[in-house]
Amino acid sequence: MSTLTIQQNRIAQYWALTKPRVTQLAVFCAVIGMFLATPGLPDWKLVVAATVGIWLLAGAAFAVNCLVEREIDSRMARTARRPMARGEITVPQTLAFSGAIGGTGMWVLYNFVNPLTMWLTFATFVGYAVIYTIILKPATPQNIVIGGLSGAMPPALGWAAVANDVPMQAWILVMIIFVWTPPHFWALALYRRDDYARSGLPMLPITHGLPLTQFHIWLYTIALVATSMLPFVVRMSGLIYLAVASVLGAIFLRYSWRIWRHYSDQLARKTFTWSIIYLSLLFAALLVDHYILVQ
């Protein structure tokens, strides 16, 4: 194996530590918050700096998550190929990597965005990497509910980056993601229940069984659809968003109803996939509606 190939493999391993697909969705929601925070187009330099800073700190948090859960990951088919689970990257290397990109992210946010965004993003890092990963996740089947706040913060971070403030509208976006997280994650936990049983984590399908988890997905989806109407209720968005949110919500409700009443692993997998599409389209609709409203 050539030196170049070894270096490329090492870069790929560090890249995998940041959970890039999850990070991309979080950063996407943060960018939407940036654009919603101003009637016109935000300063592109500010958008770039905020995106880079938030991305780096999110990646640092996920690297810590991989470090803490390396033994758990090694017992699960879904995560067994992660670099830490396979022993391809050492603990000191992961700590150094997380510290380097996290510190760089804080420096970028402080110097090129504003201190408020830096501190909010750092608090989100602590919430995910420490409070959720180390304390909540191994302790309670409600881990994803309580710890979901840290994963719901990106829109507020993006809003703070542009407006240097976090008004009610930003917290509505946070609330949408907060309520979206349980049905999204529990759908995954349902069809991956054997994995989670091996992991030793107290996930709801393992501790309380499938029927209760299925019912909770249905209840949280109802709450999610209701919460998704708030941007229209407070006149943050208009009829275009309302129409899109109603259609997307109806589809999600159909999935969650079928999970409750006619469960199959294939359906849970489809629901998990749809939940990601749902959130992406919902926030995209907010953005489109926003610029139509201000014209």
pLDDT of residue 87: 83
pLDDT of residue 69: 86
Assess whether 16 and 87 both reside in one domain: yes
CB atoms within 10 A of CB 71: 11
pLDDT of residue 150: 86
pLDDT of residue 72: 84
Task: Identify the residue whose tokens are 């700096």.
Answer: 49
Q: Among 109, 132, 164, identify where a domain stops.
A: 164
Question: Largest Cα–Cα distance of the chain, in whole Å?
Answer: 60
Q: Number of folded domains in the chain? A: 2
CA neighbor of 175 nearest in space, from 234, 252, 116: 234
CB atoms within 10 A of CB 75: 17
Instruction: Determine the number of helices (DSSP H) and then strands (DSSP E) in the chain.
Output: 16, 0
Assess whether 157 and 253 both reside in one domain: no
Assess whether 204 and 294 both reside in one domain: yes
Assess whether 132 and 234 both reside in one domain: no
Q: Give me the residues of the chain with pLDDT under 70, please.
A: 1-8, 293-295
pLDDT of residue 4: 59
Q: Among 132, 164, 196, identify where a domain stops.
A: 164
Whether this prediction's pTM lies above 0.85 is answered by yes
Assess whether 182 and 195 both reside in one domain: yes
Distances (CA, A) of 106 to 49, 58, 64, 110, 173: 11, 11, 16, 6, 23
The residue segments making up the domain with residue 26 are 1-164
pLDDT of residue 80: 78
Distances (CA, A) of 218 to 159, 179, 182, 251, 256: 31, 12, 10, 12, 5
pLDDT of residue 2: 61
Assess whether 149 and 171 both reside in one domain: no
pLDDT of residue 293: 61
Structure tokens at 43: 């300063």
pLDDT of residue 145: 81
